[in-house]
């Protein structure tokens, strides 16, 4: 493949785990099951949040957006992974790779900011319960959600064209299972030091600033909860934000391990396995956490099941 073609319009080879064919067969089944369960779980969250009037609150409004992010992310990445795992064809078109990079970058940034918005929502719910619906009107919720999507995809729209148009001098084998910035940058045959520094700065903004807002929100929540004298009151307060805390912990621990851990200390296979878990586990775990720990969601699912059963009979 020539230099110009590979830079502007040629396809790529996603190496993935092609050196271990036996592992690919196991991963195909494993990933397919996770994918189907993720679609089912997040689809259920979106459906019940839309159909049950009791869930038409800011908390479930943001949760619906988080589920949309998870659904879009796994659907953007997983079908390509499954296609490459099932046979010898590991290719992906230039356009397909660019779209995958654009969407995954945008969704990752959006999720970081949205989790901070959800932490603010929990702060208002616990620290200002009497003024909750006044301080969190639908217009504000839509504004906060739109800001999350706008900032996430603005960052992606800046970085994706730069990353995809770097000269590659014929290199087209991506040592990964989907199109991601670090392995694509490894194909570049020009000095990318300054660009990597810019990426680190922007990534730090998207990681550190939202995480700081989350920590400040929960510090205020903790301060208020400890002032509640009754044990039942404390448990109820912690219960309203426990699910969000678990989701934040899984998301940020995964993303920090993938993007902050020095790659020199990890083999390529270990890095790919960790990245695979980062892409599969949060979207899979989020609906489970919110369903198992949330009585409202379980009751809403129960109502829908009962209504469908009555219609059939």
> Which two tokens mark 102?
């654009």
Q: How far apart are CA 266 and CA 82, in angstroms?
A: 25
What is the chain's mean pLDDT, rounded? 83
What local confidence, expressed as pLDDT, does residue 135 receive? 92
Residue 289 has pLDDT above 50, yes or no: yes
Percent of the chain as helix, strand, coil, to the nearest 5: 80, 0, 20
Any idea what the Cα angle at residue 298 is, between residues 118 and 255, rounded to 5°?
A: 40
262 pLDDT band, cuts 50/70/90, is low
User: Given a cut of 60, is residue 8 above it in pLDDT?
Assistant: no
Per-residue pLDDT tens digits for 118-148: 999 989 988 888 889 999 999 999 999 999 9
pLDDT of residue 7: 41
Gap between the Cα atoms of 94 and 303, Å rounded: 46
Q: What pLDDT, on the 0 to 100 scale, is given for residue 246?
A: 80
Query: Measured between alpha carbons, how far is 18 from 20 in angstroms, rounded to an integer?
Result: 5
Phi-psi category of residue 84: left, alpha or beta, with phi > 0 → left and psi -120 to 50 → alpha: alpha
- Which residues are CB-neighbours of 218 under 8 A, at least 6 positions away? 119, 122, 123, 241, 245
Please report the pLDDT score of residue 264 as a whole number: 56
Q: How far apart are CA 305 and CA 299, in angstroms?
A: 10
Q: Domain 11-312 is in which class?
A: mainly alpha
pLDDT band (50, 70, 90) for residue 71: very high
| Section 84-106 average pLDDT | 90
């Amino acid at each position: 493949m020539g230099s110009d073609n590979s830079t502007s319009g040629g396809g790529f080879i996603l190496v993935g785990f092609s050196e271990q064919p036996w592992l690919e067969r196991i991963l195909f089944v494993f990933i397919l099951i996770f994918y189907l369960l993720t679609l089912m779980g997040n689809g259920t969250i979106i459906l019940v949040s839309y159909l049950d009037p009791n869930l038409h609150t800011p908390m479930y409004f943001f949760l619906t957006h988080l589920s949309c992010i998870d659904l879009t992310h796994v659907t953007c990445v997983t079908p390509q992974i499954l296609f490459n795992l099932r046979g010898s064809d590991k290719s992906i078109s230039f356009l397909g790779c660019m779209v995958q990079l654009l969407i995954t970058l945008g969704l990752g940034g959006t999720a970081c900011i949205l989790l901070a918005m959800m932490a603010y929502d929990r702060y208002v719910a616990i620290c200002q319960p009497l003024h909750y619906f006044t301080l969190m009107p639908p217009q504000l919720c839509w504004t906060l959600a739109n800001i999350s999507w706008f900032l996430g995809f603005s960052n992606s729209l800046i970085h994706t064209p730069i990353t995809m148009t770097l000269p590659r001098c014929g290199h087209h084998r991506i040592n990964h299972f989907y199109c991601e910035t670090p392995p694509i940058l490894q194909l570049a045959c020009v000095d990318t030091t300054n660009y990597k520094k810019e990426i680190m700065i922007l990534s730090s903004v998207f990681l550190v600033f939202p995480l700081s807002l989350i920590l400040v929100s929960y510090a205020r929540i903790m301060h208020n909860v400890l002032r509640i004298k009754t044990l039942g009151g404390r448990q109820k307060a912690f219960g309203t934000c426990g699910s969000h805390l678990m989701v934040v912990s899984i998301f940020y621990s995964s993303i920090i391990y993938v993007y902050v851990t020095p790659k020199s200390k990890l083999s390529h296979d270990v890095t790919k396995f960790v990245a695979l878990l980062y892409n599969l586990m949060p979207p899979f775990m989020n609906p489970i956490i919110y369903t198992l720990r949330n009585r409202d969601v379980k009751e809403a699912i129960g109502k829908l099941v009962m209504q469908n059963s009555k219609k059939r009979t």
